[in-house]
Amino acid sequence: MMALIDKELSAAGFEATGFLEEELLLAELRKGEVKLLIIGGGVEDEPRERLRKICAGSGIKVHEHFAGPTALVDSVKNALG
């Protein structure tokens, strides 16, 4: 699923990287270059809450996406304004 999402976002001109491991994601967030974190529907509640707090403290926008990959591009455009 992440490969499909990466492909959809890349085709729309967005740079996107998917993560399965929280520590790798956290390392990327710490670099300070992330503008928007998309949290998919399959992310469990505890890591979801941790990520929301980290992003809130770092000024990173969060979009929690529960629809399919085809709706994601519009959601990202809206979230980034």
Average pLDDT of the chain, as a whole number: 90
3-class secondary-structure state, position 64: strand
> What is the spatial distance between Cα 18 and Cα 35, in angstroms, rounded to a whole number?
14
> What is the spatial distance between Cα 80 and Cα 49, in angstroms, rounded to a whole number?
21
Q: pTM of the predicted model, to two decimals?
A: 0.86
Across residues 64-79, what is the average pLDDT? 86
Residue ranges covered by each domain of the chain: 2-80
* pLDDT tens, residue by residue, 39-64: 988 899 999 999 999 999 999 999 99
* Confidence check: pLDDT of 71 > 70: yes
What is the predicted pLDDT for the residue at 48? 96
Of all residues in the chain, the percent with pLDDT exceeding 70 is 99
CATH match for 2-80 among 3.30.1330.30, 3.40.50.920, 3.40.50.620, 3.40.50.720? 3.30.1330.30
